[in-house]
Structure 1
């Protein structure tokens, strides 16, 4: 919420409540203050265009003007003139306005903690060797959409990258979020600049492939991705079309979810296993393009190190990263953030260093599939790894999603589903541990993972030995 937003909302709500509660404010005073607020709203609309949140404020200002007119009438006519517009009516409109503006703000993402500025660029490709399994068109090939987040030269100007695909033409719902509530997300500062020059401190930067959760957009992790880039990693974040809530394809179309559940699969394990394989193939396709001189353009392609690649992901993305590593020797490390494993990810040996970073089991209440799959993987580690649990963090604490609500709303939600640690503290802890873990396999300078975890109260866990084989 901008300063002008805050001023409009605060003054309008206070004025409405006072006007509704007392008759000491006369008609002329109410009309004058309502007109002043109307002018402020018009200025805001001219600056940013009309958004859904303005509707409640417009209704509230209209109610104030009607209330002023009503009070200007003779006493004997006031009871008949719009009698419904009493204290309760104005107070209710004030409450709606407050909810519309403060509980659905423009998110403010945490500032990246690393020493580098951040650049970003989006790439949209079509894989000619794979059909699209979600559609019936035999000529439809698999699209792979990647947003690069990378260390950039400081002080370079540039435009802000769009927060999410499809802004201006979003569907009615983006996951469980009303598309209308996201119309102002073009104002989100991701702390990155489009097409910024790559930082020159290294000739080539280590690569981290990232896969989001089931039904989630890569945008939901912008805070995490920008932070990792600021610490010296070239992050390639995927959107998986027809599963992510909205993806702009290479030809400009918007793809929205298509779910094709399998018969005789009540718990959907076969469906998720098959989809995990599709995602793993997406990750391997991106790994194929790392090092190609034409894949990421003349400025970026030479700066990616094809010999230093890791795969990480949140939730279903973590499971997809695990499977990708089991079938691709180029991937040197894997991190799973709170993901349930399916298919071979839950049974095959893990050949590279592995990090399992978990939300609080008491708050997320992980399923038996989650617990059993990750336990089996831990028992099949070939190169050892780490496992940590973040106290008072829930499954969504690794994402930007809690920031889509204001602080009062986050507090209320945390009382219901957990996550009282908060998104900023949760991301700071997870990113510190992730960066320390990735330093060894990708930078040949082993980071002190235990020390990184110890800087954050409430992290429990430690190193896991390699399994005997």
Structure 2
């Protein structure tokens, strides 16, 4: 079992009781004292609820224990009767037992990687109101509003640690899959390393702006972000309103992913056909020029190119206010506004590339497994850039080969983590411990987090903090890692 997956003590005891005692009751009768067993069952369940707490994944286990207690009280053999009755009892028990063991394992109480930096981590929120028109809604008077989760090195006194994910992330994630809004309440048992609203450590820190993936949990990147912050960076985690699973505003309002906009512009037949045809044409192309033409068409005309431009503007809207926040907010005098980097995942990674083209205030950027939509294919980066990709398999077309064909006039690193998947850079492989569901490949999640954070930190240390390093040498340290400097 992965060290990130926590099967709690009394949960294990309840599961063992559920597995062993039905057979014991059928073969040994009730030779043990009935009252003693009933009291023992009751105490274990009570201790579980008191010290560990209820979670719905344990419902099959609770049900089996209730049935066992009833059988014990009535002195009823668990597998009793003729072969038909025994078959039905056995099938029912086996099904319950399968769910009893699998649900807590597949959707576990997990442990986040422990940050290794010298700084404790705090977080708070900033509500950013822009004068830009909100493109997602139908109301022409709506203006673009963003929630920014600020992660920062902190001075800790008596502050409590924050729960894993806020209600915008949790309820929006449940809503995405048509689940009850309380589905992810069990995440309260996941311990983060981030404290709620402490004071920022008394130093100036470089600023990194982070952009999440489309229709994902905006702050579902604890495993990576906590480590980066612990090493002395302030991370401004943008929540792209209406395009994440959910954005929680200070008044308690949650603005969920806008499905009406999605149906009208994103998940349309036209866009689906464009994506499918481009993949076929790319994989069937005979020459490099044919692949270039296919890549240019999809990268510039797919709806993700429009999202990329909008999110790039969101990044610039955050940068516009850094000086203001550095004067009159909880971040006052803590932002080194001469050291600004950007990084993001998936669609957010594409926004990072676009922002490097559009905003001169940004020094360097990192893309985590994003296809570079938009006009990068006909542009040349003028800033240091690092792209870390997952292990794309055929027939996934590598449009990035052509998107970044011009590289950078400064430096461009192209890296890949073997056996990883698109979700490997998120917390998803910790939340969902099933490889064919979590899209995180076969690699241990901790390995991806370690490789990613070490590479990202070295990169930003080099270009924001002027600390010389050799990124290429990392491939000798991590066997699953490939990295090369792209030649222009």
Give the TM-score normalised by structure 2: 0.82
- C-alpha distance in 1, partners of 2:178/2:344? 21
Higher mean alpha-carbon deviation, 236-245 vs 112-121, is at: 112-121
Structure 1 residue 458 corresponds to structure 2 residue 480: yes
CA separation of 1:438/1:321 partners in 2, compared to 1, >3 Å: closer, same or farther?
A: same
Counterpart Cα distance in 2 of 1:226 and 1:11: 36
Q: Distance in 1 between matches of 2:421 and 2:32?
A: 52
1:63 to 60, 64, 67: 67
**Contact 1:118/1:152 (CA < 8 Å) preserved in 2?**
yes
Identify the residue that residue 291 of structure 1 maps to in structure 2.
323
- Quick one: structure 1 residues 172 and 227, their matched pair in 2 at CA, closer, same or farther if it must change by over 3 Å? closer
Q: Which residue of 2 aligns with 1:448?
A: 470
| 1:334 match: secondary structure | strand
Residues 86 and 286 (structure 1), Cα distance of their counterparts in 2 relative to 1, 3 Å cut = same
Q: 1:363-402 maps to which residues of 2 (within 5 A)? A: 365=394, 367-368=396-397, 371-402=398-429
Question: Aligned residue for 1:141?
Answer: 143
The CA distance in 1 between the partners of 2:88 and 2:309, in whole Å, is 59
C-alpha spacing 1:322/1:333, structure 2 compared with 1 (3 Å): same
Q: Counterpart in 1 of 2:278? A: none
Aligned to 1:162: 163
- Indicate which of 91, 96, 107 corresponds to 1:93: 96
**Maintained 8 Å contact 1:53/1:101:** yes
Q: Secondary structure at the match of 2:245?
A: coil
Change (3 A) 1:72 1:439: closer
1:12-161 matches, cutoff 5 A? 12-19=17-24, 22-26=26-30, 32-33=36-37, 35-46=39-50, 50-68=54-72, 71-72=75-76, 86-127=89-130, 129-153=131-155, 156-161=157-162
- In 2, Cα distance between the equivalents of 1:205 and 1:172? 32
* 1:436–1:453 CA distance, 2 compared to 1 (3 A): farther
Indicate how the Cα distance of structure 1 residues 418 and 207 shifts in structure 2: closer, same or farther if over 3 A, else same: closer
Q: CA deviation at 1:99?
A: 1.7
Alpha-carbon separation, structure 2, partners of 1:385 and 1:110: 29
Matches within 5 A, 1:61-460: 61-68=65-72, 71-72=75-76, 86-127=89-130, 129-153=131-155, 156-166=157-167, 170-171=171-172, 173=174, 175=176, 178=179, 180-200=182-202, 203-258=203-258, 259-262=262-265, 264-266=270-272, 267=274, 269-293=301-325, 298-362=329-393, 365=394, 367-368=396-397, 371-406=398-433, 409-410=434-435, 419-460=441-482
- Cα deviations by residue, 1:13-38 (Å, 9 ceiling, x for unpaired): 33345347x42142865775455334
Structure 1 CA distance for aligned equivalents of residues 39 and 307 of structure 2: 56
- Determine helix, strand or coil for the equivalent of 2:193: coil
CA distance, structure 1, for counterparts of residue 178 and residue 222 of structure 2: 17
Aligned: 1:3 with 2:37: no
For each residue in 1:301-324, what CA deviation from the matched residue of structure 2 results, as whole angstroms up to 9, or x when unmatched? 310111111111111110011111
Can you give the 5+ residue segments of structure 1 that lack an aligned partner in the other structure? none
RMSD (Å) for aligned C-alpha atoms: 3.1
User: Kindly tell me: are residues 81 and 111 of structure 1, through their superposed partners in 2, closer, same or farther at Cα, counting changes over 3 Å?
Assistant: same
Q: Deviation digits for residues 435-466 of structure 1, max 9, x if unmatched?
A: 1111122112233212334321121222224x
Shift of 1:164: 1.7
TM-superposed deviation, 1:229 = 0.6
Aligned partners of 2:326 and 2:335 also within 8 Å: no
TM-score using structure 1 length: 0.85
- Give the drift of 1:397: 1.1
Distance in 2 separating the partners of 1:324 and 1:156: 37
Question: Which stretch shifts more, 435-444 or 266-275?
Answer: 266-275
Alpha-carbon distance between aligned partners in 2 of 1:70 and 1:171, rounded to the nearest angstrom? 46
